Amino acid sequence: GHDIKSMYPSKTYYRYRNEIKKEVGIDIAVLQPSQKDDSMKNVVPFVRIIEAKPMGIPDWAYGTDLYYEPPALKAIF
């Protein structure tokens, strides 16, 4: 995402570019879409906030083997 061309002298940049292209096959002169197109700057990333809430015991679970109620609590409810 950084402009490498402005970080190095011109000869050094092109020497690095040729070596990287030859060894790895990546051209560092190709700009990313956000750098090429100014219309991409007005895109707001979608962020969804999820809030975890404790879940209660479903009504159908009471009185079945799936839900254990201690004998002391059965007398209270």
Q: Identify the pLDDT of residue 12.
A: 93
Per-residue pLDDT of the chain (77 residues; tens, 9 = 90+): 677 888 899 999 999 999 999 999 988 888 766 555 555 666 677 888 889 888 888 888 888 888 887 777 655 65
Q: Identify the pLDDT of residue 30.
A: 80
Q: Specify whether the CB–CB gap between 34 and 42 falls below 8 A.
A: no
Q: State the Cα torsion 57-59-65-70 to the nearest 10°.
A: 60
Q: Identify the pLDDT of residue 6.
A: 87
* Domain edges within the chain: 1-36
Q: Identify the pLDDT of residue 23.
A: 92
- In terms of Cβ atoms closer than 10 Å to its own Cβ (0-12, 13-18, 19+), residue 13 is middle
